[in-house]
Amino acid sequence: MMDDYVSESDSDYTSYWRDWFISSRGNEYFCEIDEDYLTDRFNLTGLNTEAQYYQYALDLVTDVFDLECDDEMREAIEKSARHLYGLVHARYIVTTRGLTKMLDKYKKAEFGKMPSRHLYCARCEDIYNPKSSRHAAIDGAYFGTSFHNILFQVYPALIPTKSVVRYIPRVYGFKVHASAALIRWQSVKRDDMRRRLRKLEIDTGFRDEMEEEEDDEEEDVEFEGIDGRMAVVEGL
């Protein structure tokens, strides 16, 4: 749940709760859920047990909340409304309309660009920490585990091209020892991918592999055998 978000007073609200929520700092990754989606009970199936004060929270999200309550109760309902919105958001963004909205955010690079490992990077297919610490409080459940895969299945033309050049860590120009844990892990994964691609008779396209094959060809040294036939000794 979004426990770390600071509640705003009534005076900070815009005309609609969803507008206020989307424009709040830390919520930039969310898209606005259409009202007709929020008011369709089928889309909310099972969520009544996931959010405290469910009906009040839903009323707040859909701008029909009119309960007179004290500040403590109001804060609890606001907190529940944020959580409920996040759970509905995970369902909404895998719909046609939701994918379109998230695609627009993706094109504008609103999710940031890969610095190194919690948000998903489509190019290296890994996750990374968001640049802003305020985004670290967002629960991954509000986006689900299938969104990124569905997005690129629907829009395959937007799948980033994979780099054929493998990054080689260096310190002052010298390669980091190959026994480093990360390098070993990468090598295992890379070799596993190569084996699977070769089994399917698919060209791996890895530049370093092509260079290795060229080096192997250059290093093949031919020696004439005693019996007059040519013997090939590789790797000398």
The span from the CA of 132 to the CA of 187, in Å, is 31
What is the pLDDT, as a whole number, of residue 7?
A: 44
Residues in the chain: 236
Report how far apart the first and last C-alpha atoms of the chain are (Å, whole number): 62
Class of domain 10-158: mainly alpha
Tokens of 102: 């998230």
Of 19 and 131, more confident: 19
Read off the pLDDT of residues 151-197 as tens digits, 9 standing for 90 and up. Answer: 878 888 877 776 666 667 677 677 766 666 677 777 888 888 888 88
**Other CB atoms within 10 A of residue 187 CB:** 12
Query: Are 40 and 63 contacting, i.e. CB atoms less than 8 angstroms apart?
Result: no
Query: Are 148 and 142 contacting, i.e. CB atoms less than 8 angstroms apart?
Result: no
Asked if residue 114 has pLDDT above 50, the reply is yes
The span from the CA of 81 to the CA of 78, in Å, is 5
Read off the pLDDT of residues 53-93 as tens digits, 9 standing for 90 and up. Answer: 999 999 999 999 888 888 898 999 999 999 999 999 999 99
Q: Which residues contact residue 197 at a Cβ distance below 8 angstroms, ignoring those fewer than 6 apart?
A: 203, 204
Give the pTM.
0.53
The domain segmentation of the chain, as residue ranges, is 10-158, 170-233
Amino acid at 57: A
